[in-house]
Structure 1
Amino acid sequence: MKRLWKKELWRLVGLTALGGVLGWPFSAIGIGVAIALGLQLAYQLRQLSALHDWLANHPHEEPPAASGLWGELFDRLYRYQKGQRITQRRLRDTLSRIQESSEAMRDSVVMLDRHGDMEWWNSAAERMLGLKPAHDRGQHITNLLRDPSFVDYFQAREYREPLTLTSPIDEQMILQFQITLYGDDERLVMARDITRLHRLEQMRRDFVANVSHELRTPLTVLSGYLETYSGMADQLPGRMSRGIEQMRGQTTRMQNLVNDLLLLSRLEIDQGGQDDAPLELASMMDNIRRDAEALSSGSQHFEVIIDEARRLVGSEKEIHSALSNLVFNAVRYAGEDRHIRLRWASHADGACLEVADDGEGIDPHHIPRLTERFYRVDKGRSTATGGTGLGLAIVKHVLLRHQAWLEIDSHPGAGATFRCVFPRERLASAESEAPAALTTSD
């Protein structure tokens, strides 16, 4: 290209010189040069006109014939356009395959632009969400999905967890929404029909609740008779007394299991929030400390620390259940002659209830599964301590109902810290008489 520019420049110089030479015999060198420059300008304008006509009217045809710099320019533009057409065809083919594969999906797929307006969706979205191509294209997603939960979920831009809602066109259909950010702040909304899974889960909950409820009566009867017989132990043979004590222990364990199952069922079914109020955590934590001391029979040391003045807004019964489960777990698994600390403290996201011990600790690979029902780190030791395997599952559901979450820090030999983190929205302003810091211990 540089060589062609030099050639074009020398052509201009030569033509100008030729015009001057031809005008010299007539004493009109300037006129000759002007005529030469005019001819050069006319040539350039003609080529420019040919370029415009080609790009405007015949872009897919061969370029006009030209030599020199203009011929090179036409050739490069033609190759560039040809490459662009090939790229565009590949992109169209790729987009077509994506749309065809999305059409084959049973899940709804809706593509949104950076403003949240709907650009494209598959046929499943029309069936599940009631979208209509003739009317809804270009509409904002919240104009069609107006449920307040979805609007909050969409605007929060925190899409790590899916959202479960009923379909806007069929209340019997349960959908699970998941939003993904991509590109230039664009979003992909996917909705899956989980009606069958939802019904199965509801059947499971009902079954557990019904069976647990039905078990309470026979267990109460057994417990009553066994308690009566225990009071007559001095009148019974030794072997029978030992058997009755073992039956009492197992009956108590079954009652605890049934009570925990019923509590879990209630936490899953009940929406909660009816008994939320600012809580007196100091007295609650002190009561739990005394219960834990009785459970440990004085073999462990306890400390209660209050260094957050704001009060927690929540259900006293549920928060008491969650905190006592964490403390009693520490009593059972930390080991003898250990220190257990209960603390209400500030946190980067709000405030937290913390239960920490300096016991044996937990291997980190167990931590992600600790809140699963009946998951045990050490099955033999857990059975011996009398745990039901539902304590941390109850803690998890209580925290979910309070928009909170559980953080667990532990390593073998370094103790364990369970932290219930509550958002700022769950904190009430401190009372004037509330102390800035309070510490009690045994």
Structure 2
Amino acid sequence: MTINWFRAVLYRLALLLLLCTLFGLLIDQLAWTLAAGLALHTLWTLRQLLRFQNWLKNHPNELPPDARGVWHDIFDSIYQMQRRDARHRQRLQAVIDRIQSSTAALKDAVVMVDREGHLEWWNHAAERLLGLRAPADSGQTVTNLIRDPRFVSFFEQGAYRETLDIHSPIDANVWLQYAITRYGEGERLMVVRDVTRLHNLEQMRKDFVANVSHELRTPLTVVVGYLETLTDNVDEINPRWKRALLQMQQQGRRMQSLLNDLLLLARLETSDTAAETKPVAVERMLATIRQDAQALSGEQNHRITLEALSDRRLLGVEGELRSAFSNLVFNAVKYTPAGGDIHVRWWVDDNGAHMSVRDNGVGIAPQHISRLTERFYRVDSSRNSNTGGTGLGLAIVKHVLIRHDGELKIHSAVGQGSSFTCHFPLKRLV
């Protein structure tokens, strides 16, 4: 109540008391007159309160009842506040309607999930892609409706840096990509895209590479075999063909290595690792890889050291892990100058298991590091040609680590060497 209202109430009450006092003195009943006047004023105030309560409860959208004085100001102020709030709600509702209309028109499914994982709202595309039904599924837990174990694990992990590609829960021929973003006080916004076409194109690419690599393998084996036969009898051949045959044999072996890497990548992308896993003794595997790397070094006399700080076994596919670890060690041998140091380390801590390869070679410029695991990406193509690299080694390492829930971290600086570290989660340790 404002000061003006307070003064008006005091003025009316004082005027009432004055009139009652004068009338009471005239009839010689001052006390009874004052009591009657106050009672009438109280009854009038109660009547206004009842009218006020009835208006707010039963007729809030109608004009306020007629009143005088302070109550007229109260009714009018409340009515003006209601009108302002109504206009504000209309504007907010218009914004919400536009957002919902634009979201409903999207081809991608949009689902709003509260902090407990219950469905709050979704658009029409979510009904088409995920099979959600309104209003029956409202308030249901999202993991009860999308029960794929991969989605449940993805949804409950809490960190949504990557997306998840799995089959649609209502159509096994449709591939969906899930992306989740946190907002507000723990709520989550889930966007689901139909990536069936992209997945089919990617599968066609994989099948093409695998089939071509497989078909080229047989004729290339024949060619390399005949070249080896010819080079074994090089003394009986015209001397001017000797250099050509040796170069042909070298490039043939290079092509064989490339095909083998392509076939390995194709197998990593298409096979299931779950049925092949077993405990792998990493420290013994690294000891063997170190011996092979020392033999590869040959006259370059690299100092290759191994530091195995744990005998814990890693759950995985031994052949794939050997391929990944040997690629990292052999790369260090290829790209470290003669007499350089290469240190291989295996250890376990509270964050999981780790294998690192550190060298003091030429190093890698920062702009190349993020692309090193791409297929056929080469920092220096001429250097790779001299060393016989296929450009697929780190791509193989990346795919092997993905299949083993691992992650590859690369740290390098030009002239200061490089460090490649494989991180595995604790659940992979036996």
Does the 8 Å CA contact 2:113/2:119 hold for their aligned counterparts?
yes
Does the 8 Å CA contact 2:115/2:187 hold for their aligned counterparts?
yes
What is the distance in 2 between the residues matched to 1:87 and 1:359? 67
The residue aligned with 1:118 is: 119
Map 1:383-394 onto structure 2 (within 5 A). 383-394=385-396
* Residue 67 of structure 1: how far off its partner (Å): 4.8
Q: Which amino acid aligns with 1:260?
A: D
The residue aligned with 2:340 is: 338
The residue aligned with 1:74 is: 75
Tell me whether 207-216 or 305-314 shows the greater mean CA deviation.
Answer: 305-314
* Residue 28 of structure 1: how far off its partner (Å): 4.6
The residue aligned with 2:189 is: 188
Q: Which amino acid aligns with 2:359?
A: D
- The alignment status of 1:277 with 2:281, answered yes or no, reads no
What is the distance in 2 between the residues matched to 1:333 and 1:183? 49
The residue aligned with 2:359 is: 357
Does the 8 Å CA contact 1:118/1:141 hold for their aligned counterparts?
yes
Map 1:15-414 onto structure 2 (within 5 A). 15-24=16-25, 28-133=29-134, 135-297=136-298, 298-414=300-416
Distance 1:67 1:389, change over 3 A: farther
Deviation track 1:223-249 (CA, whole Å, cap 9, x = no partner) reads: 212222222233334431111111111
Matched residue SS, 2:172:
coil
Does the 8 Å CA contact 1:17/1:33 hold for their aligned counterparts?
no
Deviation track 1:182-222 (CA, whole Å, cap 9, x = no partner) reads: 23332333222111211111111111111111111122112
* Residue 341 of structure 1: how far off its partner (Å): 0.9
Q: Which amino acid aligns with 1:333?
A: Y
Q: Give 5+ residue unaligned stretches, structure 2.
A: none
* Residue 370 of structure 1: how far off its partner (Å): 1.4
Distance 1:227 1:86, change over 3 A: same
What is the distance in 1 between the residues matched to 2:404 and 2:156? 21
Matched residue SS, 2:274:
coil
* Residue 112 of structure 1: how far off its partner (Å): 2.6
* Residue 16 of structure 1: how far off its partner (Å): 3.5
Distance 1:66 1:339, change over 3 A: farther
* Residue 250 of structure 1: how far off its partner (Å): 0.8
Does the 8 Å CA contact 1:325/1:392 hold for their aligned counterparts?
yes
Distance 1:114 1:30, change over 3 A: farther
Does the 8 Å CA contact 1:308/1:351 hold for their aligned counterparts?
no
What is the distance in 2 between the residues matched to 1:355 and 1:69? 85
Deviation track 1:6-43 (CA, whole Å, cap 9, x = no partner) reads: 33234434534553454356665443433333233223
Does the 8 Å CA contact 2:111/2:126 hold for their aligned counterparts?
yes
Tell me whether 10-19 or 234-243 shows the greater mean CA deviation.
Answer: 10-19
Q: Which amino acid aligns with 1:425?
A: K
* RMSD of Structure 2 on Structure 1 (CA): 2.2
What is the distance in 2 between the residues matched to 1:358 and 1:83? 72
The residue aligned with 1:12 is: 13
What is the distance in 1 between the residues matched to 2:414 and 2:81? 64
What is the distance in 1 between the residues matched to 2:416 and 2:237? 48
Distance 1:273 1:138, change over 3 A: closer
Aligned pair count reads: 428
Matched residue SS, 1:274:
helix
Distance 1:74 1:411, change over 3 A: farther
What is the distance in 2 between the residues matched to 1:175 and 1:356? 39
What is the distance in 1 between the residues matched to 2:239 and 2:3? 112
Does the 8 Å CA contact 2:283/2:310 hold for their aligned counterparts?
no
TM-score by length of 1: 0.90
What is the distance in 2 between the residues matched to 1:360 and 1:10? 94
Matched residue SS, 1:187:
strand
Matched residue SS, 1:135:
coil
Matched residue SS, 1:308:
coil
Q: Which amino acid aligns with 2:237?
A: L
The residue aligned with 1:436 is: none
Does the 8 Å CA contact 1:103/1:122 hold for their aligned counterparts?
yes
Matched residue SS, 1:33:
helix
What is the distance in 2 between the residues matched to 1:368 and 1:72? 70
* Residue 117 of structure 1: how far off its partner (Å): 2.7
Distance 1:10 1:413, change over 3 A: farther
Tell me whether 248-257 or 171-180 shows the greater mean CA deviation.
Answer: 171-180
What is the distance in 2 between the residues matched to 1:125 and 1:159? 20
* Residue 251 of structure 1: how far off its partner (Å): 0.9
Deviation track 1:135-184 (CA, whole Å, cap 9, x = no partner) reads: 33333223322222222222222322222222222221122222222233
Tell me whether 136-145 or 414-423 shows the greater mean CA deviation.
Answer: 136-145
* Residue 397 of structure 1: how far off its partner (Å): 0.7
Matched residue SS, 1:120:
strand
What is the distance in 2 between the residues matched to 1:274 and 1:398? 15
Q: Give 5+ residue unaligned stretches, structure 1.
A: 429-442
Does the 8 Å CA contact 2:55/2:65 hold for their aligned counterparts?
yes
Distance 1:47 1:248, change over 3 A: same
Matched residue SS, 1:198:
helix
Deviation track 1:93-135 (CA, whole Å, cap 9, x = no partner) reads: 2222222222221122223333333333222222222233253
What is the distance in 2 between the residues matched to 1:300 and 1:30? 116
Q: Which amino acid aligns with 2:6?
A: W
What is the distance in 2 between the residues matched to 1:259 and 1:306? 30
Deviation track 1:75-97 (CA, whole Å, cap 9, x = no partner) reads: 33223222221222122222222
* Residue 68 of structure 1: how far off its partner (Å): 4.6
